[in-house]
Structure 1
Amino acid sequence: MDNSTKQYDVVIVGGGWAGSLLAYKLSSANKKVLVLEAGIAIDGLITNPDENQLETGSRAEFMDDFFMAMAKTPESPYVQNYNAPRPAVLDIRPVTSPPAPEDCADPIKSINNGYFIQKGPIPFGSTYERRGGGTSWHWLGTSLRMMPNDFKMKSVYNKAVDWPLTYEDLSNYYDEAEFEIGVSADVDEQKIHGITFSDGYVYPMAKIPPTILDNTMDKALANVTFDGSSLKVTGTPAGRNGVPNQLKDGSFYDNGRRQCQGNTNCTPICPIQAKYDATISMAKALMTGNVDIIYQAVAFNITIDEATKEVNGVEYKTYDKIDGPSTGTFTATGTKYVIAAHAIEAAKLLLMSNKQLPNGVANHSLQVGKNLMDHPMYLGWGLMPKPVYPFRGPLSTSGIEGPRDGAFRSERASFRIEIGNEGWNWPAGAPYNQVIDMVSPLPPDKSGKPTIGIFGSQLRKNIQSVFTRQFRIGFLIEQLPDDNCYIVPSKTCVDNLGVPRPEIHYSFDNYTMEGFKAAAAATETIFKAVDADNKTGIPVGDGGVFTYEGVKYYSQGAGHVMGTHRMGFTNEDSVTDANMKSWDHDNLYLVGCGSFPTTATSNPTLTMAALTFKAADAILKSF
C-alpha cells in the first residue's frame, strides 16, 4: 500500500499503545490519520485486503505457538520478525558474559543471539513487541495511577526532576484512559498516598476478586509495617473485564469483551481478549473511515524543512516477508507528525535522523536516548505452611502499595509489591523445570549425568505438597534518570533491512541499589509474618547481577521501558513540553513511556494512555 503521495492531517509512527489510542481520538475528531506500523498486520485490522498481504497474525495462531512453547516467556507466542526485531530472553545475560557479538555480517543469526547490543555493565532485561498492537499483547493488565508526589520528586524529595504537570492536570485523562481500557478496580481501595477521584467516580468494572493467596497474605499482613509503610494488601486495578459497574447515568459499563475466565497467562497473551489490547482501539479508529495503516513499514529517517525547521516527511522501508529484503522506500507526509514507536525505537529513530541535524531530530537538549529507565524487579519466593493453590486466575490480582511513597524516598528508591498467582513460574520455571528436577535431578557435582529421581505415588505426593504451597512476590523498584543509562543506534550492527539496532548502556545508581537492599529486608519481614519458608535465590535466566555492599543481587526487567525523550520545563534539559510537543519542531510530538521524566513505581501503561489522550487534545487544538 503506497500512500506516499497522499497528504494526511497526522502521520503516526507506531501502531502500538500510544499510536492506536491517538489514531482513535484524532480520527474521531475527523482528522485524516496515517499509521506506519513496522510489524505485521493482525487479522481484522487489514485495511487493504485486496493487496498481497503476505504476513499476518491472529490470536489463534499466537495461542497455538504459546501452547507449543516449553518456556512460557512474554515472547513465546510470537515469531521473531527480522525486519522489525524485538528483544528476547536471550538478551538477558549476566555481566560476566562477553558483550553481544559485534560481527553482524549475518543479521538473522546475530538477532537470534539477541537484538540489543548490550554494553552493560548491567544487562537491560526488558522486552517489547513490534506488531499491530505492540507490547499491549503481552502486558499483565496492571492499571495503577501514579501518586501526586511521583510528579514532584525534585521539589518534595530533592531527587531527579519534577514533571512539567501535576496529578491534578492528569486526573481527568486518567478517567478517560480507564474507560477506554476498561479497568476493574474499587475507588475507595485506591485512595492511597493522596490519590483522589472526581466526585461520584466509579471504575468501569468492579475489582477482580482476590485469590486464596491474596486473602492469606491480607490476613497475615493487615497490621504489619516496614520502614514506616503499611504492608496492607489491596486489589490491583486491572485492564481486564470484571463485573460491570453502574455508572453515573444509571447505565452499566459494556465494552463488548468477554469476562475474565481466570487463565493464568495474561502475560504473554489473553486467549479470549478479556484483557484490553491496543488492537481494540485501533479497530474503532478504522471504523471512523479516517485512518489508513501501512503495515510492514519501518521508519528510518525524519526529514526537516530547512526554512521552517518543521518536519516535512517520514521515510520508511517496506517488506513482504519477515526475513526477506526491502520492497521499496517511500515517504509519508502530513501536517503533524507523532513518533509513538516505543521508548527505545523512538529514540533510535530520532538519533538516526541526523542527515540534516548532526545530533538527530528533536535533540537540541542532547537528551534524546538518555535516561533509559525500567522498574528493575527483585523477586522473592517461598512455600506457605498451608496450600494457597496457585496457577489459577490472572497472574496478579492484588499487591502491597504502602511502600510506594514516604520520607525514605529522600534516601532510597521506593517500590510496590506485586503478589503473583503463578507459583514459582517466573523465578524458578515451575512447574516445568521442577517436575524435571524431581524425575531426573542433577547430582551434586553438576556433571550433567542424570540420577534416579522420584516417580509414581511419591512424585504425586511431592507435586501436591510443593506446588499447592508455592507463592512469589515481586518488587517493582523505582529507578532515577541517569545519563549513564542510554540508547544509541549501533554503528556496526543492523537488522535485516540494514536499520541500526539499539546499543544499550545500562546500570543502577546507589539510590536504586538501596531500594534492592530494602526489598530484600522487606521480603524477610513479609515471609516471617506469613510463616513461609523463604526459598529466594538465583532466578531462572540469571538476569542482571550486581553486588552492593558485599551482597549479590539479581535483577529482572519488568518490561517497563521509560525515559529517552522526556518532557520538561525547558528545551535545555528536556525533549518535549508537557503536551509532548518537541521543543525544536513545532509540528512534531513524541508520545509514549519515553516521555516520563521519572519512573515512580506504578506500572506505566495507564499513565502513558492518559498522557496520550492529553497529547491528542493538544494536537487537535493546534490545527
Structure 2
Amino acid sequence: MLRAMPILTERKTQPQYDAIVVGSGAGGGMAALILALNGMKVLMIEAGRNYDPTTETPMFNTPEMAPLRGDRTPDRFFGYYDATVNGGWTVPGEPYTNKPGTEGDFWWWRARMLGGRTNHWGRISLRFGPRDFKCASTDGLGVDWPMTYDDMHPWYDRVEKLIGVYGENDGIENAPNSSPGVLLPPPKPRVGELLAKKAGKKVGVPIVAAHRAVLSQALDGPRLAKELFPNNSKAQQIMATDMSLRAPCFWATNCIRGCSIRANFQSTTVLIPPALTTGNLDVITDAMVREVMVGKDGKATGVHYIDKPTRSDRVAKARVVIIAGGTCETARILMNSQGKDKGGLGNQSGQLGKNLMDSVGANLSAHIPAMEDLPPYNEDGAGGLHTYSPWWLVREHGKLGFPRGYHIEMGGGRSMPGVGSFGILDKTSPGTYGSKLKEEARRYYGASFGFSGRGEMVPNKDCYCELDPKVVDQWGIPVLRFHWKWADYEIKQAEHMQNTFAELLEQMGGKPKPQSGKDAIKKPGEIIHEVGAARMGDKATNSITNQYCQTWEVKNLFLMDGAVLPSNPDKNPTLTILALAWRSCEWMMEEMKQGNI
C-alpha cells in the first residue's frame, strides 16, 4: 500500500542535507527519487499542502454525489472532482499581474499541493523528436537544444519503463518509436475514435494509438527494477516491490481525479513513495521558498522559505540546490534571489524570464448522427484519450505559413454524464419537454465528438515574465508580471487546426462551424504547458543552464522543470521533464563524486 505522506515532526529540518529539492512534481519528484535511491540525504520543500491520492481520490463517485452535480466552479475550473486542491489559475493571497498594454492576459496555473500538476494532468506522454531538438537548424527560428534526440532516447526508455506508458510504435517522422518492449499495450479505440480514424484516412490525417502514462497491465517490478538500476541492489529491492504494488487501470474514471490504485502516473504515487522508503527523503509541505541563499564563494548554500502555518522565516541548507517549482515559479525564485538588480540569480545572459512559451490550443466539436442511439457500454476507458494524431506535415511548412506543427487530441461519446453533458439538447431539442425530452436525451447524449490541437509556439520577444515593481503576495514576496502577444505564426496555426478539425468532423457526418485563428486560439497559459523562462543552451552567453540543467553562474544550483526547455514542441512536456531530471541527477552525482561540485 502507499505510505502516508510525512510532515516533519515540529517541521524541523536537519542542519545540512546533500540536496534540497524545491517542488514535488515531475522534475522534483524524479530528482528526489534518483538521489534518495543513491544514498543522498534529500529535503523536499513543497509550497502547497500535503496530499495522499489513496485516501483523497473519489474514484467511483458519480456526479449526483457532488455539489452542483460535479460541475465547474470558479475555484474548481475542471469540475468538482478535479484532483487539484488549493490551486488553479487564481490562488488566494498569491496574485500575479499582467503588464498594461499586453494583448492577452497570461493565465498562470499553480497546483499548490504535494505532487504538483502530476496529480491533475492528462498523462499524454510524447517524446520530443529529432527535429524538435534541432529546430533552429531546420527553420532558422529560436535556438537548438544543446543535445540531440540520440542523447535523450535512452532516458525516455527509462522513464517509460518506470512510470508505465501505453502506446504503439508507428514509425511516423519526428514522433519517435520507443525501444522494443518498452511500451504497454494501448486500449482499443472507442466508437467515436473509430469513426475519427476512418475520417482521418480519407483526409490524410493519421490517427494512431495515444501514448499515455497509464498502466494497461501490471508491471513486472523485479525485471524492470534490475533493468533500470543495474548496479544498485537497494534500489532494485525497493523499486521491485513498489512497482509491483501498482494496479492496472480499472477503466473507470477520468484520470484528472487522481488515482488511488496507482494505475496512472503521479509523483505522489510513483516517485515519492519509494523515495521515502529509502529513509533518505524528508518532506516539508506548506513551505513557500522565497530565494536561493548564496555564500561568499558564489555557491548556493540553501534556501530561505516561509513556514506558512506559522508565517515565520526559515532557512534550509544543502550541498546542492535543485529548483523544480514549475517554469514560472522557478523563474520567480531566481529573480527574487541574489542579484535582483541584475534580473536575478544566474542571469548573466539576461535570458531569465525571457522565451516564455505555452502550447497553441484550439478546439472544435460537432454532433455526429452516426453516434446517436448507440447501445450503452463502458466508454470511460483509460480515463482519457485512446487515440491521437501526431503532426503529419513535418516537411510541408513552406506551404503552410507557419513553421511548427501540432498534434491532435480527441474525445466524445458516452462517458459518465455531468451537468454540462446535455447542453446539446438546447440546440437539438428546443422547446421539448416531458417524455419526449427524455427520449431526445437518450438519443443525443454521447453523440458529439471533438478535436483539440496542441501546437508548438516559437519563442518571441513579446512573451516574458518579470517581477512586478509594486505588488507582493501575502508572504511579502514580489510577484510575477507577464507580458504576452501571440505571433502570426501561432494565429495561422490555430486557423489550420480549425480547418483540419472541420474537415474531419464533416467526414464523420457532422456540421462544424470553424472559427478564425484569432478567435479560436486559447488564452496564453490556458493549456498549462508553459516552459522556457530559464532555458538551457550550449554557452553561458545565451542561456541560464547547460544541458544537464546546471546553472552556468552557480555550479551547485540546478533547475529541473519546464523552465529549462529551449523550445516548446507540440508534444506535452512532462515526459521530457522527467527524462531531463533523471539524466541531470546522474550527471550531477558523478560530478559530486569527482569533486567538481
How does the TM-score come out when normalised to structure 1? 0.80
Q: Bigger CA drift: 270-279 or 509-518?
A: 270-279
Q: Does 1:193 align with 2:194?
A: no
Q: Does 1:396 align with 2:396?
A: no
What are the equivalent positions in structure 2 for 1:62-73 lying under 5 Å apart? Answer: 67-68=66-67, 69-71=70-72, 73=77
Q: Which one of the candidate residues 334, 341, 358 is aligned to 2:342?
A: 358
| Alignment CA distance shift 1:574-1:209 (3 Å) | same
Q: What is the rounded CA distance, in whole Å, between the counterparts of 1:8 and 1:249 in structure 2? A: 32
1:221 counterpart residue number = 200
Offset, 1:189: 2.6
Q: Does 1:59 align with 2:28?
A: no
What are the equivalent positions in structure 2 for 1:72-87 lying under 5 Å apart? Answer: 73-74=77-78, 76=80, 77=82, 81=86, 86-87=88-89
| Alignment CA distance shift 1:79-1:208 (3 Å) | closer
Offset, 1:313: 2.1
For residues 502-551 of structure 1, give each alpha carbon's deviation from its aligned partner in whole angstroms, at most 9, with x where no partner exists.
Answer: 322222111111211211221232123223221556xxxxxxxxx76xx6
Q: Which one of the candidate residues 508, 511, 516 is aligned to 1:533?
A: 511
Tell me if structure 2 keeps the 8 A contact 1:40–1:132: yes
Q: What is the rounded CA distance, in whole Å, between the counterparts of 2:221 and 2:53 in structure 1? A: 31
Amino acid at match of 1:343: T
Q: What is the rounded CA distance, in whole Å, between the counterparts of 1:73 and 1:203 in structure 2? A: 35
| Alignment CA distance shift 1:247-1:587 (3 Å) | closer
Structure 1, unaligned stretches of length 5 or more?
46-56, 89-106, 226-230, 321-325, 442-452, 538-546
Q: What is the rounded CA distance, in whole Å, between the counterparts of 1:33 and 1:587 in structure 2? A: 14
Offset, 1:43: 3.9
SS class of match (2:302) = strand
1:421 counterpart residue number = 412
Q: What is the rounded CA distance, in whole Å, between the counterparts of 1:222 and 1:169 in structure 2? A: 34
Q: Which one of the candidate residues 536, 550, 555 is aligned to 2:522?
A: 555
| Matched residues, number | 549
SS class of match (1:577) = coil
1:298 counterpart residue number = 288
Offset, 1:11: 0.8
What are the equivalent positions in structure 2 for 1:364-383 lying under 5 Å apart? Answer: 364-383=348-367
2:40 counterpart residue number = 31
For residues 212-262 of structure 1, give each alpha carbon's deviation from its aligned partner in whole angstroms, at most 9, with x where no partner exists.
Answer: 11111112222422xxxxx12101111111034889969999642232233
Q: Which one of the candidate residues 542, 549, 562 is aligned to 1:580?
A: 549
| Alignment CA distance shift 1:587-1:182 (3 Å) | same
Q: What is the rounded CA distance, in whole Å, between the counterparts of 1:425 and 1:371 in structure 2? A: 40
SS class of match (1:23) = helix
Offset, 1:2: 4.4
Q: What is the rounded CA distance, in whole Å, between the counterparts of 1:235 and 1:617 in structure 2? A: 32
Q: Does 1:596 align with 2:565?
A: yes
Tell me if structure 2 keeps the 8 A contact 1:385–1:531: yes
Offset, 1:342: 0.2
2:472 counterpart residue number = 494
| Alignment CA distance shift 1:126-1:404 (3 Å) | farther
Offset, 1:474: 0.3
Q: Bigger CA drift: 525-534 or 296-305?
A: 525-534
Q: What is the rounded CA distance, in whole Å, between the counterparts of 1:73 and 1:554 in structure 2? A: 19
| Alignment CA distance shift 1:6-1:250 (3 Å) | closer
For residues 412-448 of structure 1, give each alpha carbon's deviation from its aligned partner in whole angstroms, at most 9, with x where no partner exists.
Answer: 131101112368999x983165568889x8xxxxxxx
Q: Which one of the candidate residues 251, 259, 273 is aligned to 1:262?
A: 251
Offset, 1:195: 1.9
RMSD over aligned CA atoms reads 3.3
1:242 counterpart residue number = 216
Tell me if structure 1 keeps the 8 A contact 2:30–2:578: yes
Q: What is the rounded CA distance, in whole Å, between the counterparts of 1:328 and 1:249 in structure 2? A: 47
Offset, 1:464: 2.5
2:23 counterpart residue number = 14
1:449 counterpart residue number = none
Q: Does 1:385 align with 2:339?
A: no
Q: Which one of the candidate residues 206, 210, 217 is aligned to 2:185?
A: 206
Q: Does 1:164 align with 2:146?
A: yes
2:577 counterpart residue number = 608
Q: Which one of the candidate residues 129, 133, 155 is aligned to 2:111?
A: 129
Tell me if structure 1 keeps the 8 A contact 2:186–2:216: yes
Q: Which one of the candidate residues 430, 438, 457 is aligned to 2:420?
A: 430
| Alignment CA distance shift 1:421-1:127 (3 Å) | farther
Q: What is the rounded CA distance, in whole Å, between the counterparts of 2:216 and 2:59 in structure 1? A: 26
Tell me if structure 1 keeps the 8 A contact 2:537–2:545: yes
Q: Which one of the candidate residues 98, 113, 121 is aligned to 1:118?
A: 98
Q: What is the rounded CA distance, in whole Å, between the counterparts of 2:185 and 2:477 in structure 1? A: 46
Offset, 1:305: 1.8
Tell me if structure 1 keeps the 8 A contact 2:364–2:502: no
Tell me if structure 1 keeps the 8 A contact 2:290–2:304: yes
Amino acid at match of 1:287: T
Q: What is the rounded CA distance, in whole Å, between the counterparts of 1:169 and 1:257 in structure 2? A: 30
Q: What is the rounded CA distance, in whole Å, between the counterparts of 1:601 and 1:180 in structure 2? A: 23
Q: Bigger CA drift: 71-80 or 310-319?
A: 71-80
Tell me if structure 2 keeps the 8 A contact 1:143–1:603: yes
1:176 counterpart residue number = 158
Offset, 1:579: 0.3
Tell me if structure 2 keeps the 8 A contact 1:395–1:422: no
SS class of match (1:136) = helix
Q: What is the rounded CA distance, in whole Å, between the counterparts of 2:534 and 2:308 in structure 1? A: 28
Tell me if structure 1 keeps the 8 A contact 2:23–2:44: yes
Q: What is the rounded CA distance, in whole Å, between the counterparts of 2:397 and 2:560 in structure 1? A: 31
SS class of match (1:431) = helix
Tell me if structure 1 keeps the 8 A contact 2:53–2:258: no
SS class of match (1:302) = strand
For residues 382-401 of structure 1, give each alpha carbon's deviation from its aligned partner in whole angstroms, at most 9, with x where no partner exists.
Answer: 11131176963223111111
SS class of match (1:267) = helix
Q: What is the rounded CA distance, in whole Å, between the counterparts of 2:520 and 2:78 in structure 1? A: 23
SS class of match (2:457) = coil
Q: What is the rounded CA distance, in whole Å, between the counterparts of 2:155 and 2:397 in structure 1? A: 29
How does the TM-score come out when normalised to structure 2? 0.84
Amino acid at match of 1:73: F
| Alignment CA distance shift 1:432-1:313 (3 Å) | farther
| Alignment CA distance shift 1:58-1:565 (3 Å) | same
For residues 248-279 of structure 1, give each alpha carbon's deviation from its aligned partner in whole angstroms, at most 9, with x where no partner exists.
Answer: 96999964223223335223434644211001
Tell me if structure 1 keeps the 8 A contact 2:302–2:320: no
Q: Which one of the candidate residues 134, 152, 155 is aligned to 1:152?
A: 134
Q: Which one of the candidate residues 457, 460, 464 is aligned to 2:438?
A: 460
